[in-house]
Structure 1
Amino acid sequence: MITTIIFDLGAVLIDWNPRYMYRTIFEDEAEMEKFLAEITTSDWNEEQDAGRTLHEGTEILIQQFPEHEHHIRAFYGRWDEMLGEAFHETVEIFRQLKESGKYKIYALTNWSAETFPVAFERFEFLKWFDGIVVSGEEKIRKPTPEFYHILLDRYNVKPREALFIDDNYRNILAAEKIGINCIHFTSAEQLEVELKRLSVF
């Protein structure tokens, strides 16, 4: 029986994409993609999600790629421009689950402690959660098992009674190993189908 629902945020409820900002800097799309793939990489960004300061992360890259200093500093200097809109169809599912009164609903997110407050102020629905566990604040991130256990222990959640929703299959596999029920998110339509299949929605 599911009593608790745990949402990922980025790419599930919130649209975040560095291209929104970098397209205002780069005139050539291929050059931008090369920069994102080779310099401001996902692995680098995840270190900030895991608690490294934005300043330290930025300075490390500038030391490695001094010729790209201006573009590197823009990543966090103009980070708010990377934050897109909410995925309204998914937010509507969240709203209906919340209003049903049947579930405790939490968020478990890989997000820098320094940038998360920007999103928290921008998106009112983030205040609907019964609790949010932010990797940058805990200095540990998905898919590390201990990060999931922080939420489970803090809110007294039994894994077999929890349902975790995330777009990243790596994170889904880690949650399943702990015994958490999971939905690998691909779209709001698919999520609704899966929730109904599980008799949650």
Structure 2
Amino acid sequence: MENIKNIILDLGGVLINLDYDKVNDELGKLGLANAFTKSNQIDLFDNYEEGKISEKTFLNRFNQLAAVDHSHNKIIQAWNSILLDFPADRLTMINQLRDKYKVFLYSNTNFTHMKAVNSILQREHSLENLNGYFDKVYLSHELGIRKPKPQGFKHILKTNNLVPKETLFIDDSPQHIEGAMQAGIYAEWLDLEKEDLKDALTRLSLI
């Protein structure tokens, strides 16, 4: 990793802890079982994460698919149940990385989840958001592109004048690793069953 000058980090699973079993259970109770998993999800979630539909439209279409008239707050509570805590040591690690590298965030996410993430950051760390921790934050619903589409990675490279072979991407979803590699970026899969971010950064001699 001696040639690496830039690092792109994922958010969910890599920085903030997630619970896919919990969210699947909660969404299932509302009538959409197995609609959102780590490896696959229905078009409703894809469209929301690419900013193609508003939060209100997302919630209304959720009810249409579930064939039930749930309150919007009930859906939001179930949808946000995937989000757990944001360990303080991961913020410290980002700062350590920025001493040596340009560091970017690229997350498949949506308006609802980012409101909840920022609430967690405020509650746990008195932070409004993550903007101050990265050279640039890229969120799929703002960018209009979800991982693993290579176009998202190419956009980040181009707009920041980054050299692909000097750039490393770290994500806990194997399919996203493939997209980064198609864009010419070095990519490292973070297997959360075996290691966390600190383990991976240490193994790669990045911190």
Q: TM-score, normalised by structure 1?
A: 0.78
Task: Give 1:93's aligned amino acid.
Answer: M
In structure 1, what is the Cα distance between the partners aligned to 2:109 and 2:34? 19
CA distance in 1, matches of 2:18, 2:203: 29
The letter of the residue matching 1:42 is: Q
Letter in 2 for 1:145: P
2:109 paired residue among 105, 108, 111? 111
Alpha-carbon distance in 2 for matches of 1:199, 1:156:
24
Asked if residue 60 in structure 1 is aligned to residue 61 in structure 2, the reply is yes
- For residues 28-107 of structure 1, the aligned pairs below 5 Å read 32=29, 35-38=32-35, 42-43=41-42, 44-51=44-51, 52-66=53-67, 68-70=68-70, 74-76=74-76, 79-80=79-80, 82-98=82-98, 101-107=99-105
Q: Residues 46-100 of structure 1: CA distance to partner in whole angstroms, max 9, x if unpaired? A: 321111222222222322332x3327762326655543211445444323223xx
Preserved contact between residue 5 and residue 166 of structure 2 (Cα < 8 Å):
yes
Q: CA deviation at 1:12?
A: 0.7
Is residue 7–residue 106 contact of structure 1 (8 Å, CA) maintained in 2? yes
- Comparing 101-110 with 45-54, greater Cα deviation is found at 45-54
Q: Which amino acid aligns with 2:47?
A: E
Which AA in structure 2 matches 1:65?
A
Q: Which residue of 1 aligns with 2:206?
A: 200
Q: Using the alignment, how far apart are the partners of 1:17 and 1:34 within structure 2? A: 19
Compared with structure 1, are the counterparts of its residues 95 and 35 closer, same or farther at alpha carbon in structure 2 (3 Å cutoff)? same
Over residues 28-55 of structure 1, what are the superposed CA-to-partner deviations in whole Å (9 max), with x where a residue is unaligned? xxx6497431489833323211112222
Bigger mean CA deviation after superposition, 70-79 or 9-18 = 70-79
Structure 1, unaligned runs of 5 or more: none
Give the one of 146, 152, 157 matched to 1:152: 157
Aligned residue pair count: 193
When residues 74 and 142 of structure 1 are mapped into structure 2, their CA distance, relative to the original with a 3 A threshold, is same
Q: Distance in 2 between matches of 1:21 and 1:89?
A: 25
Query: Does residue 148 of structure 2 align to residue 143 of structure 1?
Result: yes
RMSD: 3.2
- Give the equivalent residue in structure 2 for 1:8: 10
